Every structure is written in structure tokens, then in C-alpha cells.
Amino acid sequence: MQERHYRWDWRLRSSPERLWPLVADTNRFNRDAGVPELELGEVRRGGRRLLQLSRLGVPIEWEEEPFEWIEPCRFSVVRRYSKGPLAEMRVAVELLPEAEGTLLRYEVWAEPRSLLGRIAVPIEIGRRSRTRFERTLRRYDAQLADEPVEPRKAHLQPGAGQRLAAVRAALEAEGTAPELVQRLTDVIECADDLTVSRLRPYALADAWGAERRAVLDLFLRATRAGLLEFRWDLVCPMCRGAPESAETLSGVHEHVHCDSCAIDFRVDFTRSVELTFRPARAIREVAVQEFCVGGPQLTPHIVFQQLVQPGSERSVEPVLGAGSYRLRLRDLPGARRLVVTPDGATSLHLEASAEDAELASSSTPSLLLRNDTEEEQLFVLERTAWTDQILSAAEVTALQVFRDLFADEALRPGEPISVGTLTILFTDLRDSTRFYLDVGDAPAFGSVMDHLDVLRAAVTDESGALVKTMGDAIMAVFARPVSAVRAAQRAQRELAAPEDGRRPLVLKVGIHAGHCIAVTQNERLDYFGSTVNLAARLVDLSSGTNIVVSAAVAEDPEVAELVRGGLTAEPVHATLKGFEDERFEVWSVAV
């Protein structure tokens, strides 16, 4: 039957760059425009997805091609129907910059399958969709212009108001800033389900103009108090979505499959496991619904995605910021790395192949995508840098507040998980045996316990975590080497010159940074590997008036800056117990 074509042009005040995150979030846009909820089917060849919904009691089923887009300019999608009144529909959205905003062009091509389709298309698409889409876009434009919008109260559980008030009072009594508590409760009471279904504390901190650590502390304490609950999202390294989630660390396993990308990947705490939050079920029931599953904002790290047919080519002209990008094909191995440089190429020919290469590109290149294979190919250009708003498992499990509040969070026994690079600190008291003989067991034991309090405070204030104590020694973990060095400096100084007249203590310290694995040991999260073993050996080289650090710590840029600020650091060549076949360069840092 004859295809119907509709084109709507709307002039909006906001720029394409500001509109893009809202318009390209097709899941939210469809929800806001009144599109029915989807039922998800299988992922087919080339990333095509089988989807279905019901409209006015009519079942509709289709196969959806991967979305194509170039941010922040345009996106499009093709849907081929197997059930319902349509045979095919194509949608294309273009954001054209103007002197005072954006011309947003929305086009739909709809081919009816039946008489019902011929009748429904002008009504449902030509009239109703046009009205709903314009209303939604105008609302987004007003939102970006900071025009006042009446907040909508979400439906809370019975008794939730009293629980919110009680938790708010408890958090403020613990010292949490009242304005942060109020902001969080406002989100829980007013934000929509899509927003609160995956809350990221760092993203909210940035939006609020608040200190990230303070907001994370609020989220963790609010979870313990029953206001929030968290989950561990297992993040695909390709699409960066979460094909699986676990409510506890014990539910995290090492190998995961992503249907959307058709890959298996190995989990590590640095990139693959993200801690996200949502309101507790006793406060608010959150309905996770799908209204679109392939739009650009689902994978905001992807600059463009283009489906090129066999024997065809396509030219794209993306705008690239500084940094590194990766061009890959969905169904072929290999990738080409594009690095944006001032003298990079302004024109590049990129063929569909499995080769690995590095290319220099300008910030506004003309890229010719050529597919000489016998199959269609999905070209994807993505930023290699990950957003720093992700709260990784490696980071949060290295925080004392998390270990204090959620001591029962541990991995499945016998399931080691890589945590990437962490900084490990070990301490020991010098001449502790003589100390017990000189002052007696009871006073010495009291001093040792007090020294553990000093260490714990120093570690906690530097965003680290005390993993375990071993008599008068400790093991602590930090995300950054400089934090471990500062914590060690503070602890050594306070113990060497106690303010309350107690006997001074001499603290030996060793620090190393490197790859670690996390395991469950004695029902607690612990760390193992050669990095941990080497850090433990460095303590023996410390006299107690210095900190002994590995070259990996000394060469860290933040530590090097700390040394340049007035510390004395000298290299020392040493042989370590258990590493007799290697000779290490370590550094003695004077306190």
C-alpha cells in the first residue's frame, strides 16, 4: 500500500548540544509522549531486536534495525513489522542549529499493511503523534531554559511519609548536611521512575554542585537507614549497559554474557561492576519499564553508529573533542584507534576490516566508511574514556564507611574477582615486644588499641579502608597512592608525638600499588595477589621514621608532586623476602 510521509519542523530555543541528551533519550521521550510499554524479544543477527506492544487491543510485533546516529545532529531507525496494521516504518530526527536555537525536524515514513493501517496512520501518526511529540519537545525546551515546572509527586508506599521523616532526622543527627538530605528526599518524592531506578551519587553531586564524597556518604548511610537500596550492575565493556545485576556482592560472578553485543566478558571491580541506588521498596515501588531499547542516549559514549550495506560506502562528519576514540564493527574483531591531534588528518577512509591500527584525526574529520564485505556492517565510533560519574566496586569497597556499614557484603566463597589497580598499605609497630616487656601487658595492650584508632582515623579521612588487623599491624587499601602516603605521614607523626602524654610509638609503613584480586576471607572482603605480598614485605625495610614505598607509588604523579612540595625521598635497592630472584628499587620517604 502507499507509503505515507510526515515532516514536522519545530523551532526551539535551546541549542542542539543541549537538546540532544533529552531528545536522543528515546526511552524517556517515548514514555513522555505516551508511547505504550514494550515487550522485549530476542536479539537477532546484526543486532536487530524483536519487539512487540499492544495498541488499542491490537498486537503489534516488529524487527528493529540498530539505530543510526551522529551526535548531536541526527538519528534514525527502521522497523519492519510482522504483526499489526503496518508493514514498515522509518523515523528520522534532525537537529539543525540556528542563530537563536534549533530547528528540530521530525520525519516519519509509514507503510500500511492493511485497511486498518490506512485508516490508523493519519490519525495515530499524522495527528496524535504530532501533537504529543510537540508537547514533549516544548516541555524539554522549557526545562532547559530553567522555566519553573510544577513538580509531580510520585506515588509512595503507605506510611512512607513517616518513614522519610524519621530517616531524615536520623541522618541529620549523624551529621549529614540537612540540605543534602532534603535534596535526596525531593528526588525520591518527585523524580520519575526512569530517574530513580538507577541513581548515581556522583552524577547527583555534580548536578547539585555538592562535594562527591559527602553525597556518597549520604547515599550509603541512607541505604543503611532504609531509605535507599543498592545493587551491583555488571557493566558490558562494549555498550556499557548492565545485562545483569546483583543485590549483593555474593551474587556477582566472574563471567557475564551481553545479548545486545553478543559477547561474553570477564567481570572486574574497576570497570565491570558499578554500584547504583534506588528508593527502598518500603518507601517507593519503582516500575522499570521499557519504551525504546536502542536510542543514542542508551550508549552516550558512542559518537556515531552507522549501518552500511555490502558494497556501499557512507560519509560522516562528526565533531570530536580532544581525546582518544575507537572505531569498531559489531560483527568483526579488531578496532582502529583515532587520536584527535591539532595536525590530524581531515579526511580518512575506513574500510570494514579486522585490522588494528592507530590513526591521527582532526577534530572535524570527514570519514568515509566503506563496506567491501558480503554482509552489512555496523560501524561504531566510541569514546575510549569512561565517565568519572560511575561508582565502581573497586572504589566503594576501598572506603571505610562502606566496610563499616555493610560488613556482610562479601563475594561468593571461592570466587576471585579482579579489582584492577589499588594501593595497599601495611604497618607494624617497631620493637612492640620490648614495649610489652617495659610497660606491662595491660598498659601496652591499651596503647596498641589506641594506636589502631589513630590509624583507622587517618585511613578513613584519606578515603581508604582498614581491611584487617594482625596483632599490632594493619592492612589498609586506597584507590590512590597519594592518599596512602598522606595517611601514613599523619599516623606516624601523631604516634611519635602523642598529645595526651602517652608513650610515643614508632610506626613502620610499607606501600605498594598494583593489580589485586578480591576474595572472601573469614566472611569479609579481602585482597590477595603479588601486589599485597610485596606491600607486606616493604614494612620490614621501614625504620619507623620513614615510609618505604615501591617505585609504582613514588612515580605516581600526585605522590611526585607531594615530594616536590618538601618531602625527602631517596631510592634504595633491596631484595625482598619471597622475591629473592628480583631486585627492587624502592623509595624511602622521610616524614
- Given a contact cutoff of 8 angstroms between Cβ atoms, the answer to whether 125 and 110 are in contact is yes
Q: What is the pLDDT of residue 149?
A: 65
74 and 220 in one domain? no
CA atoms within 13 A on the CB side of 145: 13
Q: Which amino acid type is present at position 83?
A: K
Count other Cβ atoms within 10 Å, centred on residue 441.
9
**Is 287 inside any structural domain?**
no
432 and 325 in one domain? no
204 and 329 in one domain? no
Q: Closest Cα partner for 299 from 106, 71, 33?
A: 71
Domain count, the chain: 4
Q: What is the pLDDT of residue 142?
A: 93
Q: What is the pLDDT of residue 435?
A: 63
419 and 537 in one domain? yes
455 and 575 in one domain? yes
Q: Residues in the chain, how many?
A: 591
**Is 388 inside any structural domain?**
no
Q: Which amino acid type is present at position 536?
A: A
How far apart are the C-alpha atoms of 318 and 338, rounded to whole Å?
A: 12
**Is 297 inside any structural domain?**
no
Q: What is the pLDDT of residue 497?
A: 87
**Is 391 inside any structural domain?**
no
231 and 171 in one domain? yes
Angle at the Cα of 457 from the Cα atoms of 454 and 458, rounded to 5 degrees: 85
Q: Which of 99, 118, 144 is the last residue of a domain?
A: 144
Q: Closest Cα partner for 64 from 72, 55, 82?
A: 82
Q: What is the pLDDT of residue 440?
A: 62
Q: Which of 335, 352, 383 is the last residue of a domain?
A: 383
316 and 263 in one domain? no
How far apart are the C-alpha atoms of 34 and 290, rounded to whole Å?
A: 12
How far apart are the C-alpha atoms of 198 and 77, rounded to whole Å?
A: 26
**Is 345 inside any structural domain?**
yes
406 and 554 in one domain? yes
| Domain encompassing residue 203 | 160-279
Instruction: Give the CATH number for residue 44.
Output: 3.30.530.20
Q: Report helix, strand or coil for 479.
A: coil
213 and 187 in one domain? yes
Q: Which of 352, 383, 414 is the last residue of a domain?
A: 383
422 and 314 in one domain? no
Q: What is the pLDDT of residue 444?
A: 62
- Tell me the per-residue pLDDT of 237-290, one tens digit each, with 9 for 90 and over: 999 999 999 999 999 988 999 988 888 999 999 889 999 999 999 999 998 889
- The single-letter DSSP state of residue 293 is S
Q: What is the pTM of this model?
A: 0.87
- Given a contact cutoff of 8 angstroms between Cβ atoms, the answer to whether 227 and 164 are in contact is yes
Cell numbers found for residue 541: 625495610
Q: Which amino acid type is present at position 297?
A: Q
**Is 68 inside any structural domain?**
yes
575 and 433 in one domain? yes
100 bridge partner residues: none
**Is 288 inside any structural domain?**
no
Torsions phi, psi of 104, nearest 5? -100, 120
31 and 83 in one domain? yes
How far apart are the C-alpha atoms of 111 and 85, rounded to whole Å?
A: 9
How far apart are the C-alpha atoms of 37 and 52, rounded to whole Å?
A: 9
**Is 296 inside any structural domain?**
no
Low-confidence ranges of the chain (pLDDT < 50): none
